[in-house]
Amino acid sequence: MNETATTRCRSPKVRTPSRLAGSRRALTAAVLFMAAQQCLALTTPAIIASITSLQCLEYRVVGICYWLLCTPFGCTVKTSPKVRHFIPELVVSSYSDTGASPWVEMATLSAPTLSSQGGGNLITPSPQRDNLLRFKNVDGIGHPGGAALTALAHSFGYACPSGAVPLAPYYLSTLDPLAWRQAIPESAYPQALIPGSREIGSQALGNMWGSVYPRHGFLVQADDFKASAVMAQRASDFITRVGQPHVYLPLQPKPYPGYWPPQPVMENNVNNHRWQLLSPVIQSTCAIFPSPTIHSVEGGYAWSLWRPYRCCQRMGQTLLFSIDFEGGQG
């Protein structure tokens, strides 16, 4: 399905479970009202409002944790439910013109520099050819809706804290010109040299959008939405790993007793991560790439990156062990 969006945002449809208190409904309604007033551009209130998607949250009880609680009167074993839910960690923007991020409040962070200017396509589009080399800038910024998401998840029970810092610039491609614009040393990696390695989609199924490697800003892709999505996937790949040859702030939360953060992003794995489209329109569902395409007139796109966290409420000094229900790791 292909669509062209003429506006930048859309108020998300929200289904509020009956267990939410009236005050929670009022808060959600207020946030959605604020987002509705921002229909010409992607704004921070609109991004915060988007977290009310229950399909993206996917809250589940997946197991039981066993804790050892010791007091001066002796020790006992306590239990707590082990829950899993997705958290929106990053807003990943992918756009053609340098400095023209669709997230208006953050556009100044990616202003052109002496080594990062220009942008867009290198070949004039033509219906007779599909060898259109596109370039996209990418920003990865901490999602501003972490606190609101935690409040929403607490409505179902215990909630896991996010490992991302709201509004923190984890990656700005304008500050990474050597890797993002010159593909140094990305183009020399084995994954970039082996055909069919680390592809988004599948050539066998006829829905291959592009390869993750080399993780730079250029791609031969006739479809602008698909090219932007591949860039977002590439950036999230190294942002969620440490020691990568890019100028970035790694987003790899550390586990501790009763808290299991997600593994690094891996393409084609719906249990590992999910994307929620924010621009050119805000969608209330999450999916992995490939996904239905919605084209932006301005060539700017943005997604929320949701990743699954597992945790259980601390009920003692020591976590003895935890068990997972059948299918709990999915």
Encode 271-307: b = buried (16+ Cβ within 10 Å), e = exposed: ebbbbbbbbbbbbbbbebbbbebbbbeebbbbbbbbb
Distance (Å, whole) CA 48 – CA 150 = 12
- Name which of 9-18, 20-29, 36-45, 110-119 the model is least confident about: 9-18
Query: For 279-330, how does the pLDDT look when each residue is reduced to its tens digit (9 = 90+)?
Result: 999 999 999 999 999 999 989 999 999 999 999 999 999 999 999 997 665 4
Q: In this structure, what token pair is assigned to residue 14?
A: 């929200």
* Mean pLDDT across 205-213: 93
What one-character-per-residue DSSP string does 1-70 give?
Answer: -EEEESSS--PPP----TTS-HHHHHHHHHHHHHHHT-TTSB-HHHHHHGGG-HHHH--EEEEEEEEEEE
Query: For 142-197, how does the pLDDT look when each residue is reduced to its tens digit (9 = 90+)?
Result: 999 988 898 888 888 899 999 999 999 999 999 999 999 999 999 988 888 888 88
Torsion angles phi and psi, residue 55, rounded to 5: -65, -35
Within a 13 Å sphere around the CA of 298, how many CA atoms are in the beta-carbon half?
22
Place of tokens 């208006």: 104
Place of tokens 């990865």: 140
Within a 13 Å sphere around the CA of 34, how many CA atoms are in the beta-carbon half?
13
Residue 74, pLDDT score? 94
Distance (Å, whole) CA 39 – CA 11 = 8
* Mean pLDDT across 199-226: 93
Torsion angles phi and psi, residue 12, rounded to 5: -70, 145
**pTM for the predicted model, two decimal places:** 0.85
Which of the 8 DSSP states describes residue 94?
Answer: E
Q: Grade residue 10 by pLDDT with cuts at 50, 70 and 90.
A: very low
Torsion angles phi and psi, residue 25, rounded to 5: -65, -40
Residue 118, pLDDT score? 73
Q: Which residues pair with 171 in a beta bridge?
A: 140
The number of residues making up the chain comes to 330
Cα angle 155-157-162, degrees, rounded to a multiple of 5: 85
Distance (Å, whole) CA 230 – CA 235 = 9
